[in-house]
């Protein structure tokens, strides 16, 4: 790990994750109508999967290859072969598929704080305590269930349009795609580092006024629930910029309010990076200080700002969300002014 002077403020940063990694596989979507394509001589000699990725760029090449292998792509009425080359005069019928696990998601009425919505995307302010996606131990009552109830059309989009996640006890802004095309575009923006994410975090201690933590993150070698700074070959590069914007004390111990921007998007990145530097987040049940756990019932982390290129207009749009009441009250206890976002 190293800490250095901060980089210039970037206009576009890869999402954190406090979200899951953006390049995690996304299940296939929606059961739309079959797509019929007529090839031309310019496609002659090109592999079928590459031709498809050119003609229907809204689907990733890996997803198209899976559909070819599963028999969901027909060339002149016959199942396509994985490595076949196009002749340039074929008719291709593509049948997009919905992943089996997506069929198990059920709509549930859940209050959602929608900050923005249009025909392509939603931006919402997730409260602490809300799980984003069904998984073992949380098969209902999730954000996904609530999205399906409020927006039934999201049943036709993989993961109900969710392209990234916030931890259960992290609050703040998330974006959701309303169409498969918008979802593919947003995933590619995340991978291309054209999404801006900013967080407010309250940590124990007094970090440098500003800086950058660069340290690869991987699974903890002994506790598989946790992530950790690691030199293992499977660890992935991670970098977090930070600025100290407030100081105070809780129970006589110093705390600092940090504004964080992420250059990479690794699971628990902010929590792991600050813990590795000796400044764990206040209230963090997984990476925090056990003897100080009673000070706050969750990690003091809020996704306060989100910026991206709109997948339809291409225009940069940005949203902000003020601190939730519990974090605002925590700052008041610490004698720290609530920052503007």
Q: Catalytic residues, which ones?
A: 167
| Tokens 């995690």 sit on residue | 24
Q: Specify the DSSP class assigned to residue 290.
A: G
d(CA 29, CA 156): 6
Backbone angles phi, psi at 31, to 5 degrees: 55, 45
d(CA 142, CA 135): 9
Query: Two tokens at 34?
Result: 């079959």
Query: Two tokens at 162?
Result: 């969710």
CA 4 to chain centre: 26
Task: Work out the angle between the directed axes of helices 48-55 and 61-69 (0-180°, nearest 10).
Answer: 130
150 Rama sector, left if φ>0, alpha if ψ -120 to 50, beta otherwise: alpha
Residues 6+ apart with CB under 8 A from 151: 122, 160, 178
DSSP secondary structure letters along 52-115: HHHH-TTS-HHHHHHHHHTT-EEETTEEPPTTPBP-SS-EEEE-----GGGGG---------EE
Residues 6+ apart with CB under 8 A from 264: 14, 236, 237, 238, 239, 240
Contact 256, 274 (CB under 8 A): no
| Burial bucket for residue 239 (CB in 10 Å: 0-12, 13-18, 19+) | buried
């Amino acid at each position: 790990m190293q800490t250095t002077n901060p980089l210039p403020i970037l206009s576009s940063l890869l999402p954190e994750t406090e979200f899951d990694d953006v390049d995690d596989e996304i299940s296939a979507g929606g059961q739309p109508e079959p797509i019929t394509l007529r090839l031309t001589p310019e496609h002659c000699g090109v592999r079928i999967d590459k031709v498809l990725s050119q003609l229907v760029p809204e689907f990733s090449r890996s997803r198209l290859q899976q559909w070819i292998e599963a028999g969901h792509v027909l060339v002149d009425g016959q199942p396509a072969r994985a490595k076949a080359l196009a002749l340039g005069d074929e008719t291709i019928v593509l049948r997009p598929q919905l992943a089996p696990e997506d069929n198990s998601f059920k709509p549930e009425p859940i209050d959602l704080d929608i900050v923005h919505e249009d025909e392509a995307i939603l931006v919402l302010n997730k409260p602490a305590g809300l799980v984003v996606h069904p998984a073992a131990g949380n098969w209902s009552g999730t954000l996904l269930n609530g999205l399906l109830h409020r927006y039934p059309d999201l049943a036709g989009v993989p993961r109900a349009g969710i392209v990234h996640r916030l931890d259960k006890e992290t609050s703040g802004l998330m974006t959701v795609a309303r169409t498969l095309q918008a979802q593919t575009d947003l995933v590619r923006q995340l991978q291309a580092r054209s999404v801006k994410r900013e967080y407010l975090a309250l940590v124990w201690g007094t970090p440098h006024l500003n800086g950058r933590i660069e340290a690869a993150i991987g699974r903890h070698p002994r506790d598989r629930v946790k992530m950790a700074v690691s030199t293992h070959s499977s660890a992935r590069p991670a970098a977090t910029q930070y600025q100290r914007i407030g100081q105070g004390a809780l129970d006589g111990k110093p705390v600092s309010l940090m504004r964080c921007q992420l250059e990479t998007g690794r699971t628990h990145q902010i929590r792991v990076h600050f813990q590795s530097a000796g400044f764990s987040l206040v209230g963090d049940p997984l990476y925090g200080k056990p003897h100080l756990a009673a000070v706050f019932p969750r990690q003091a982390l809020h996704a306060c700002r989100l910026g991206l290129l709109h997948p339809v207009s291409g225009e940069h749009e940005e949203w902000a969300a003020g601190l939730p009441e519990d974090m605002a009250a925590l700052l008041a206890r610490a004698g720290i002014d609530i920052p503007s976002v």
